[in-house]
């Protein structure tokens, strides 16, 4: 359900102006709502932002997506503004990913090794592109990995928390924890050690995501979620049992991806891709 | 492995010494020579060496020696906002042009010594360095990311991991490492946790595919070599004073320098009286016979004419420096060698052979041995 019915009215208005058909509401974020729309048998995702709340982070999301041209990153089609009932709204038209999210897939089943290899390969490829333009996604998790319905190719979505390393940080140093979903965040994000954050932070989150998809467990799993997060933010090593299982499945790169300090993870996407291809 | 001359005050002539043939390159300094002088040397007597330019902006004082006369040195250095990347990029552009003009083969990124060695500071040095890296590699100028480690904080928990995590954001695969300490002249490094922290830092960089050239080295360079550093620079004064802030103060004058002899058996620097005593007891390491400067020094001392040997002592040290680098290609030999040096110190003491300087008692050898053990444990 949309949090704000006004957004739906805005979406209807955009569709009517542009000749699209509105199908259904997909998801809502803090300042935006997403809808499934179509035109001439082509499907799209329409994201609507209230302009007042479309802050610098939204701008950075759009700027990053404009520069990212990868098969494994959701494609940005159009960005525009609309005035509705005297209020200004920003909207983004993206490709529609009909295969759903990894998290919805995981509600039914855990994944097999070959599926992990494919998703890993796709998202690592996406990270190669973010690395090249010096941006960090900062929110890699099952909700933000989607699939194309025709190819089952994994695609990285939602660059709402993207950090452009060429720009000044928007996160104040006094904040104890940086942006991101804590359960999937790297130790440097959880402790807001901003100078340490780079593509290797996304590498860590991908490692956690793949473990969750494979075992249904966080690799730093403790009895309570907050204890798990504390364990990660204390720069502890990941669970020995998980390590053994990853070795048993010949998925050793994931162990390196989950190193608490970035220096011990893969330094560049190329080196990770090299190891991943050897699996 | 390779060793470099670290150019300092009046040390150009040492580069020309034919007997110091083991050096592969030179780390050039703008402090002691003008651009014209460096350009002249680079295209003449330095031709065969790899020439690395260190811009030496560590202690921003515009009145420092000849630095202010170099084109890249900004007039507003004392007043500029040193967090401004536009300002740094302009400095890098000028630095790059200087390196090209002087026909250097490589350039080190400019860094200052901050009040606080924070993550933000290191991140800033990487951003500045990456700008210069991109510019240099486009024009086939070799590039070193400069990193200054403050010994005092390297003992803190996880510092090596945190700083190396930031430094590995460099685009370069080469780091020029400077270890800043406030250790007194003629004293050796003794803090185990600090030494282990630096060794771990070097190892992390090395494991990440970054080769480390350690600048301003003294005999402790073998610890860094043990941890994976691949190149080392030293100069004539580094047997006495390391990279300290006081080193960069204006000379205060007065007080002549004393010559020192590097003794392998004790892994220590000895004064004249010590050398004579050890020689009499037959305790000097026989390898001195392969060092032409050692032979010459002993001849002078035997002649008992009181002739000065300060210049020979520098050459003796520089010859020993590259001999040590060559002789410890296999890192496993170094711990054994330290164990032997410690035994030699104990024997000397048992035989009531004491060195002239009270603190020259070999204490640091044990600390270094502990450091190597602790380092090994961390990577088991």
Crossing angle for the helix pair B333-350 and B363-378, to the nearest 10 degrees:
150
Contacts of B207 in chain A (CB under 8 A): 264
Q: Is residue B168 within 8 angstroms of chain A, CB to CB?
A: yes
For the segment A85-119, what is each residue's pLDDT rounded down to a tens digit?
A: 888 888 889 999 989 999 999 999 999 999 999 99
Short-list B239, B117, B119, CA closest to B167: B119
Contact B161 A193 (CB under 8 A): no
Nearest to B204 among A173, A235, A263 (CB): A263
Contacts of A193 in chain B (CB under 8 A): 119, 162
Nearest to B166 among A173, A196, A264 (CB): A196
Q: Is residue B161 within 8 angstroms of chain A, CB to CB?
A: yes
Rounded to the nearest angstrom, the minimum Cα separation between A150 and chain B is: 38
Q: Which residue of B has its CA nearest to A263?
A: B165
Domain ranges of chain B: 2-240, 261-378
Query: What's the pLDDT score for residue B251?
Result: 46
Extract the tokens encoding B56. 């030496």
| Residues 63-122 (B) with a CB less than 8 A from some CB of A | 118-120, 122
Mutation for testing the A interface, residue in B88, B145, B169, B197 having most A CBs under 10 Å: B169
Q: What is the interface pTM, i.e. ipTM, of the complex?
A: 0.88
Query: What's the pLDDT score for residue B253?
Result: 46
Q: How confident is the model at residue A249 (pLDDT cuts 50, 70, 90)?
A: very high
| Residues 242-271 (A) with a CB less than 8 A from some CB of B | 261-264, 267
Intra-chain end-to-end CA distance of chain B, in Å: 24
Q: Is residue B49 within 8 angstroms of chain A, CB to CB?
A: no
For domain B2-240, which CATH number applies: 3.20.20.105, 3.30.360.10, 3.30.465.10, 3.30.230.10?
3.20.20.105
Mutation for testing the B interface, residue in A169, A187, A197, A263 having most B CBs under 10 Å: A263
Q: If chain B, 380 residues long, is cut into consecutive pieces of 10 residues, what is the mean pLDDT of each piece?
A: 87 88 93 91 92 88 72 88 92 96 96 94 96 92 97 95 98 96 84 97 98 94 97 81 54 62 92 92 87 94 88 93 92 93 94 89 95 95
For the segment A65-79, what is each residue's pLDDT rounded down to a tens digit?
A: 888 888 999 998 988
**pLDDT at residue A145 above 80?**
yes
Query: What's the pLDDT score for residue B245?
Result: 56
Q: How confident is the model at residue A26 (pLDDT cuts 50, 70, 90)?
A: confident
Query: What's the pLDDT score for residue A168?
Result: 59
The Cα A168–Cα B284 span in angstroms is 59
Mean pLDDT taken over chain A? 89
The Cα B170–Cα B211 span in angstroms is 12
Per-residue HEC secondary structure of chain A comes to CCCCHHHHHHHHHHHHHHCCEEEEEEEECCCEEEEEEEECCEEEEEEEEECCCCCHHHHHHHHHHHHCCCCCECCEEEEEEEEECCEEEEEEEEECCCCCEHHHHHCCCCCCHHHHHHHHHHHHHHHHHHHHCCEECCCCCHHHEEECCCCCCEEECCCCCCEECCCCCCCCCCCCCCCCCHHHCCHHHHCCCHHHCCHHHHHHHHHHHHHHHHHCCCCCCCCCHHHHHHHHHCCCCCCHHHHHHHHHCCCHHHHHHCCCCHHHCCCCHHHHHHHHHCC
């Amino acid at each position: 359900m949309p949090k704000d019915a006004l957004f739906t009215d805005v979406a209807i208005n955009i569709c009517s102006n542009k000749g699209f058909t509105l199908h259904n509401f997909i998801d809502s974020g803090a300042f935006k709502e997403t809808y499934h729309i179509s035109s001439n048998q082509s499907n799209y995702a329409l994201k609507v932002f209230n302009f007042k709340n479309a802050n610098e982070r939204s701008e950075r999301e759009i700027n990053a997506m404009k520069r990212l041209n990868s098969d494994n990153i959701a494609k940005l089609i159009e960005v525009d503004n609309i005035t509705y009932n005297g209020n200004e709204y920003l909207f983004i038209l993206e490709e529609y990913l009909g295969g759903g999210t990894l998290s919805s897939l995981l509600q039914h089943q855990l994944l097999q090794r070959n599926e992990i290899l494919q998703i890993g390969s796709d998202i690592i490829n996406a990270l190669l592109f973010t690395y090249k333009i010096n941006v960090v996604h900062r929110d890699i998790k099952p909700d933000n990995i989607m699939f194309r319905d025709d190819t089952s190719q994994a695609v990285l979505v939602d660059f709402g928390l993207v950090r452009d390393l060429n720009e000044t940080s928007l996160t104040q140093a006094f904040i104890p924890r940086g942006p991101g979903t804590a359960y999937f965040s790297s130790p440097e994000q959880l402790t807001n050690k901003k100078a340490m954050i780079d593509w290797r932070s996304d590498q860590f989150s991908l490692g956690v995501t793949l473990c969750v998809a494979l075992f249904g467990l966080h690799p730093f799993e403790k009895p309570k979620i907050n204890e798990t997060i504390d364990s990660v933010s204390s720069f502890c090593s990941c669970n020995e049992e998980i390590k053994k299982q990853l070795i048993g499945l010949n998925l050793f790169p994931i162990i390196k991806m989950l190193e608490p300090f970035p220096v011990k993870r893969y330094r560049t996407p190329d080196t990770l891709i090299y190891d991943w291809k050897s699996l | 492995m390779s060793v470099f001359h670290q150019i300092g005050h009046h040390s150009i002539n040492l580069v020309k010494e034919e007997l110091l043939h083991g050096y592969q390159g030179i780390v050039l300094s703008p402090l002691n020579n003008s651009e014209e002088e460096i350009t002249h040397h680079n295209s003449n007597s330095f031709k065969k060496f790899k020439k690395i330019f260190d811009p030496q902006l560590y202690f921003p004082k515009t009145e420092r020696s000849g630095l202010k006369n170099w084109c890249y040195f900004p007039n507003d250095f004392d007043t500029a906002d040193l967090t401004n990347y536009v300002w740094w990029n302009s400095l890098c552009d000028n630095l790059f042009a200087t390196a090209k003009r002087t026909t250097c083969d490589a350039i080190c990124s400019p860094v200052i010594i901050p009040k606080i060695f924070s993550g933000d500071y290191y991140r800033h040095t990487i951003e500045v360095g990456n700008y210069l890296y991109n510019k240099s590699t486009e024009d086939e100028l070799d590039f070193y990311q400069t990193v200054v480690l403050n010994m005092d904080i390297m003992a803190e928990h996880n510092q090596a991991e945190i700083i190396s995590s930031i430094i590995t954001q460099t685009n370069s695969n080469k780091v020029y490492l400077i270890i800043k300490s406030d250790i007194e002249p003629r004293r050796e490094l003794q803090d185990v946790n600090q030494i282990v922290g630096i060794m771990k830092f070097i190892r992390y960089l090395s494991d990440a595919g970054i080769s480390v050239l350690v600048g301003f080295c003294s005999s402790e360079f073998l610890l860094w070599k043990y941890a994976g550093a691949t190149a080392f620079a030293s100069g004539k004064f580094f047997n006495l004073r390391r990279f300290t802030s006081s080193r960069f103060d204006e000379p205060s004058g007065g007080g002549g320098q004393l010559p020192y002899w590097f003794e392998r058996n004790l892994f220590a620097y000895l004064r004249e009286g010590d050398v004579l005593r050890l020689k009499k007891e037959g305790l000097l390491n026989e390898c001195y016979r392969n060092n032409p400067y050692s032979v010459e020094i002993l001849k002078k001392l035997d002649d008992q004419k009181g002739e000065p040997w300060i210049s020979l002592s520098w050459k003796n040290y520089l010859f020993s420096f590259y001999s040590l680098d060559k002789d410890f290609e296999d890192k496993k030999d170094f711990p054994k060698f330290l164990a032997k040096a410690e035994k030699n110190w104990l024997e000397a003491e048992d035989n009531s052979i004491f060195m002239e300087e009270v603190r020259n008692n070999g204490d640091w050898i044990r600390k270094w041995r502990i450091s190597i053990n602790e380092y090994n444990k961390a990577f088991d």
